[in-house]
Amino acid sequence: MPTSTLPESAAAILAKAEAFRDNKHNLVLYQEDCLKILAALPKESVDLIFADPPYFLSNGGITCHAGKMVSVHKGDWDKLPGAEGDPVRVRFDMVHEFNRTWLQACQRVLKPNGSIWVSGTAHVIHSVGFAMQQLGFKLLNDISWVKPNPPPNLSCRYFTHATETIIWAAKNAKSRHTFNYKEMKLTNHNKQMKSVWEIKPPETWEKKFGKHPTQKPVALLERILRASTNEGDVVLDPFAGGGTTLVSALSLHRQAVGCELSAEFITIALRRICSNLVHAQISIATLTISLDPQPLSEDRSKCVHSSLQLIQQECRFYFIGRTKREIIFSALATTIEDARQKFRAAGHPDSDAIFIIKTETEIYLA
């Protein structure tokens, strides 16, 4: 998203908070309070917002994890300030004021025909819906996301919580929101897609770089983006967490902006994003040469060698271009700092490279 037309103060805020930028795919991730970033972003610059705000559940409750009773503590970001002395009744007015504030900031950056999706459990989603009505959003749908294998209810005093609600709303009553009806119908075996979605929680591969306690599955975000955006649209996630929205936007060729305050989750998001940006192709060629003066018919497949002799060892660093995604420089070096010095000596500023790939080769004489 361009920043040159922003007021200097807003541009400075965004530049200071920028944790990652990929201009080729138009991805930006900020490490900062989302309210500060939303205030600095240009008005009416975003096509779609997906938000998964704090549920404020980490106030002394219990849940079931891996068959055991555990305390509900997703992190300090999920605790409501001042609620420690009242764990049973979290003050609604504080939660609602928080929801009104960030939703109003989101409404400002939405384009006239933009829309917003907000996910939440019963603990917070009703406040979100009420705040949307107060602010003049146009409610379009409330999606029930059904989780096939939810954790059991340990108190046995309620039905097992097996769903989350996702509210979809347009910026206002005049908005002509995007809805790719035909694509959704085709996805649903040529039948109208209903507002009850059964989608599995995040798969193991989605958590290989770490996990967020309220992480959403890629399949859920991809359906949302396919339904309500087109290629090239700008997608914003004010509570980016582990980066699922940005990863999904990248795979579907959407532009994306994310905000996240936690350094831990920023790291997870960056590792997930970068793993999708770099695709290394390694080719191995083998050459067989007989060193015997004369070919022998002896079967050597079961020979056991007591020792191996190292005859060559090297460490090489490959620099991948930021704008042109290919190797722009390579160097033999013992450390990455030595390689970076050679990169600079060749006339490249550090900003020329977006990734550095290290390879180590050892050749042994058998």
Average pLDDT on 117-129 reads 93
Task: Write down all domains in the chain, each with its CATH number in brackets.
Answer: 8-277 (3.40.50.150), 283-366 (no CATH)
Phi, then psi, of 145 in degrees rounded to 5? -90, 110
28-57 pLDDT, tens digit per residue, is 999 999 999 999 999 999 999 999 998 876
Residues 6+ positions from 139 with CB-CB distance below 8 Å? 129, 132, 133, 167, 168, 169
Average pLDDT on 304-313 reads 66
Average pLDDT on 337-351 reads 91
Tokens describing residue 197: 């979605």
The predicted pLDDT at position 4 comes to 53
Contacts of 127-134 spanning 24+ positions with Cβ under 8 A: 127/92, 127/95, 127/96, 127/99, 128/53, 128/99, 128/103, 128/167, 129/167, 130/96, 131/96, 131/99, 131/100, 131/103, 132/103, 132/167, 132/169, 134/100
Average pLDDT on 107-115 reads 98
Average pLDDT on 322-347 reads 89
**Residue 73: pLDDT band with limits 50, 70, 90:** very low
The predicted pLDDT at position 7 comes to 62
End-to-end CA distance of the chain: 56
145-161 pLDDT, tens digit per residue, is 998 877 777 778 888 88
Of the candidate ranges 29-43, 241-255, 352-366, the one whose mean pLDDT is the lowest: 352-366
Residue 99 pLDDT greater than 90, yes or no: yes
The predicted pLDDT at position 130 comes to 97
Residue 67 pLDDT greater than 80, yes or no: no
Residues 6+ positions from 95 with CB-CB distance below 8 Å? 56, 80, 124, 127
CA distance 164 to 219: 15
What angle (nearest 5°) sits at the alpha carbon of residue 235, between those of residues 229 and 240? Answer: 135
Average pLDDT on 291-303 reads 46
Residue 81 pLDDT greater than 90, yes or no: no
**Residue 140: pLDDT band with limits 50, 70, 90:** very high
160-218 pLDDT, tens digit per residue, is 888 999 999 999 999 999 999 999 999 999 999 999 999 999 988 898 888 888 899 99
**Residue 322: pLDDT band with limits 50, 70, 90:** confident
Residue 25 pLDDT greater than 60, yes or no: yes
The predicted pLDDT at position 68 comes to 43
Whole-number mean pLDDT of the chain?
Answer: 83
Of the candidate ranges 4-8, 32-36, 147-151, 232-236, the one whose mean pLDDT is the lowest: 4-8
Tokens describing residue 297: 């018919």
Residue 227 pLDDT greater than 90, yes or no: yes
Cβ atoms < 10 Å from Cβ of 308: 10
